[in-house]
Amino acid sequence: MAFLTFLVLVLIPMRRFRAVFRKEVGPDDFALGESAAVPGHVALANRNYMNLLELPVLFYVVCGALFVTGNVDGLAVGLAWAYVAVRALHSLVHLTYNRVIHRLALFAASNVVLVMLWTVFAIRVWPSAA
């Protein structure tokens, strides 16, 4: 998941510099983030990067919690990799042809997997918390 996030992070300056060199925008269009003049294909990498910093935080937390409590097993690892795979597919769709319905389906699927991972954690930790 971290590798995917860093990969998308690298795309941001690549797309921005390319747009400036092509004179699609000027450097000042990025002074406060992104102005309305920034083309969608340039802003898309930044939006995808923000997506990778939002809900995935809950993924990192549950993975750490599973590890610390000694609850990592094949099911947890499988769900974790499923989450990463679906998020990677979501980013791929978002950064390429960007069909909203495909992106939405992948985003929803990743959220279902994340909820499943949290549910596994909660079921395993709940009895020991009592």
Write out pLDDT tens, residues 96-117: 999 999 999 999 999 999 999 9
Mean pLDDT on 112-130: 89
What pLDDT score was predicted for residue 126?
A: 87
pTM of the model: 0.91
Residue 127: pLDDT band with limits 50, 70, 90: confident
Q: Alpha-carbon distance 35 to 46, whole Å? A: 13
- What single DSSP character describes residue 52? T
Positive or negative: CA dihedral 38, 41, 46, 51 = positive
> What average pLDDT does the structure give for the chain?
95
Q: Alpha-carbon distance 37 to 34, whole Å? A: 8
Neighbours of 59 (CB within 10 A): 20
What pLDDT score was predicted for residue 130?
A: 55
Q: Over 70: is that where the pLDDT of 129 sits?
A: no
- Domain boundary assignment for the chain: 1-47, 55-130
What pLDDT score was predicted for residue 78?
A: 98
Q: Alpha-carbon distance 84 to 1, whole Å? A: 6
